[in-house]
Structure 1
Amino acid sequence: MFIRIVKLTFHEDKVEEFVNYFEEIKSVVRNQPGCTFLELYQDKHIKNIFFTYSYWDTEQDLDTYRHSSTFKEVWPFVKTLFSEKAEAWSVDRLVTVK
């Protein structure tokens, strides 16, 4: 499994636009080949900071998505809403405690 976390910081007046857009595209992104999980988080105190958290079968699956027509539609639009450059991390899960 390949886990990707992306921090997105938006202009405060673009938060609602982003949330509405994410609602429209979430199923399309989640149903990309190899994507097995997708969540969106919003910072509790700084309301214009969001994180996406996604699981991919392989790193190649994420790369394939990043070169897809879907990504080429989604990402350029979302970037217009940013107040800061996005940050991304690829992580390995070490421990799960339930």
Structure 2
Amino acid sequence: MFVRIVKMSFHQKHIPTFLSIFEEKKEFIRGSKGCQLLELYQDKNNPDIFFTYSYWNEEQDLENYRNSALFKDVWAKTKVFFNDKPAAWSVDKKVSLQ
């Protein structure tokens, strides 16, 4: 399993629309083959910045999602609202304490 972290920064006036899109699509994204968890975070100091964390069984699962009609639809609707270039990382979880 690995974690995909995506940082997105939005024009403030478009945040409600982004949140609406996320709300509408989150169950479908989470239901993608190999997706074990999907979370959305908003930065406390800069509310224009959001992060998604998703846990995937295998890299191929993420690639399959990224090549899906669902991803293409969500990304096309979302990217027009960015006020900065998004950034993404794929990381291996080393430690988790709960």
Output the TM-score relative to the length of structure 1: 0.97
> How many residue pairs were aligned?
98
RMSD (Å) for aligned C-alpha atoms: 0.7
| Structure 2: gaps spanning 5 or more residues | none
What is the aligned partner in structure 2 of residue 46 from structure 1? Answer: 46
Superposition pairs of residues 2-81 of structure 1, within 5 angstroms: 2-81=2-81
Distance 1:97 1:25 in 2: 29
What's the CA shift for 1:94?
A: 1.1
Output the TM-score relative to the length of structure 2: 0.97
What is the SS of the residue equivalent to 2:40?
Answer: strand
What is the SS of the residue equivalent to 1:44?
Answer: coil
Percentage of identical aligned residues: 52
Deviations 1:27-83 (A, max 9, x none): 010000110100000001211100000001100000000001111111111000100
Distance 1:89 1:59 in 2: 12
What's the CA shift for 1:85?
A: 1.0
